[in-house]
Structure 1
Amino acid sequence: MRELKMRNQTTLLYSTAGLILTLGLSYAAVPLYRAFCAATGYSGTPMTDRERYSDASRLHPTYSDPFNETKDTERIRISFSATHSDQIPWSFVPEQPEIYVLPGETALTFFKAHNYSDKDIIGIATYNVVPDRIAPYFAKIECFCFEEQKLLAGEVIDLPVFFFLDKDMLEDGETRDVKDVILNYTFFSARRNPVNGQLEPDTDLSKYRVGKDA
């Protein structure tokens, strides 16, 4: 009888520990998923590796092909797209439809968000690039993604994105011929994580994906 009681207690302890671990992982899923994508370029997520752009040599335009110095490097068209969930009463648009950049050349663009409701609202944006294979070379120096943006009732704000395409893309057979890239941002209403109190997008980011590899 005593052994059965101890066995039941052990089973209960393991079950409780498993439940706590599962809950912990679920609450950590969003920041972990976000960090993983930002570090690897998974699912078209632009890189945010600060070591990459701390090297000043990477922040200069590449004018010639690394495999043929007599051939000029073609500029790459970066198109901008903006969407928002149905739950957030905002308008959200890029301020310019596209720009053309050389690998290694820094670029600055802006998105405009307008809270047209009569209430103050906090939103959080996610982002993605298409084609997926360019993501490891799309480096953002500054952007508004995954940061809470509180817009007062009727407020309009400009949101900057400062980025560059790493010149190493020219040495990768999968990306050297990419000539068109789409950068997409999507705004979601924010919810507060009940465990750590942090604000996060009110959506399941593990299911979020913009476009497919072209």
Structure 2
Amino acid sequence: MLASRSIFSTLRPTLRPYSIGSPRILTRPSQLSHPRRPFSSSSSSSTNTSNSNASAGMYTAAVFITMLGISYAAVPLYRLFCASTGYSGTVQTDKSKFSADRLVPTATPRRIRITFESNTSDALPWTFKPELRDIYVVPGETALTFYKAKSQAKDDVVGIATYNVTPYRAGNYFNKIQCFCFEEQRLAPGEDVDMPVFFFIDPDFLDDPYMKDVSTITLGYTLFNAKHAPHLAPVTPSTGQ
């Protein structure tokens, strides 16, 4: 018994009394092993996000500029394609179709009404209209008509015209021997000019089942101010086509 007390007396000083009024505050292990980082970490994340946004913006701008350049470069190629195929109602200009055997009126009672329309851009102070509203032709028959333009401007102005045919599917058979489309025309104040259109309908028109219900073809021109339509400027020097 004395030995037990002696051992207890020896250990007693090392024991701490339990205090109810002073509870221990436990810290979560996650807080001990991973202390909270300073605010600079969120700032770094924000910087990375800004860099990513800037890169995305530069990429988008580069794509836009590239596509814009391609679209302008494609205009002359598209125009040549349309002129050679009649796509989207563009008049044919392929001279291989102008052989003598095709320039003979066909012996058919089916006559096609050709109507003419004109439009002028608001940026071009000209009057512009066809001298004839319509004519009737048979396939293979050549026809000549004129459009008249007159300048109402106070200075010299250069105009340029685009054209199309409706219905679109008939454009493949509308052959233009001579016209003023895509040619620059300069008019002085008050000056006027007659611009010719010499054309014929290809005889193959009669053999196409898609043309059976086509009795009227409309040729339309729109005049623009060449200053505001640089992409319409002639690709090669004018040859009267």
TM range (shorter): 0.7 to 0.9
- Does the 8 Å contact 1:95/1:111 carry over to 2? yes
Quick one: distance in 2 between partners of 1:19 and 1:160? 40
Structure 2 residue runs without a partner (length 5+):
1-58, 234-241
Following superposition, the deviation at residue 104 of structure 1 comes to: 0.4
Q: Which one has more relative contact order, counting CA pairs under 8 Å at least 6 apart?
A: 1
Go from structure 1 to structure 2 and tell me whether the alpha carbon gap of 1:19 and 1:129 turns closer, same or farther (over 3 Å shift): closer
Deviations 1:105-144 (A, max 9, x none): 0000000001111111111100011111110000000000
User: SS state of the match for residue 184, structure 1?
Assistant: strand
Structure 1 residue runs without a partner (length 5+):
1-14, 65-72, 194-198, 203-214
Matching residue within 133, 140, 144 for 1:97: 133
Q: Which has the higher strand share?
A: 1
Q: Which has the higher helix share?
A: 2
2:105 alignment partner in structure 1: 61
Matching residue within 111, 116, 120 for 2:147: 111
Say what the alpha-carbon RMSD is for the aligned residues: 2.3
Report the structure number with the largest CA radius of gyration: 2
Letter in 1 for 2:146: F
User: SS state of the match for residue 210, structure 2?
Assistant: coil
Work out the number of aligned pairs and report it. Answer: 175
1:39 alignment partner in structure 2: 84
Deviations 1:171-213 (A, max 9, x none): 00001332111100000111388xxxxx5449xxxxxxxxxxx
1:129 alignment partner in structure 2: 165
Percent identity for Structure 1 against Structure 2: 55
TM-score of the aligned structures, taking structure 1 as reference length: 0.75
Letter in 2 for 1:76: I
Following superposition, the deviation at residue 23 of structure 1 comes to: 5.7
Letter in 2 for 1:50: K
User: SS state of the match for residue 25, structure 1?
Assistant: helix
2:214 alignment partner in structure 1: 178
Quick one: distance in 2 between partners of 1:176 and 1:57? 23
TM-score of the aligned structures, taking structure 2 as reference length: 0.67
- Does the 8 Å contact 2:162/2:222 carry over to 1? yes
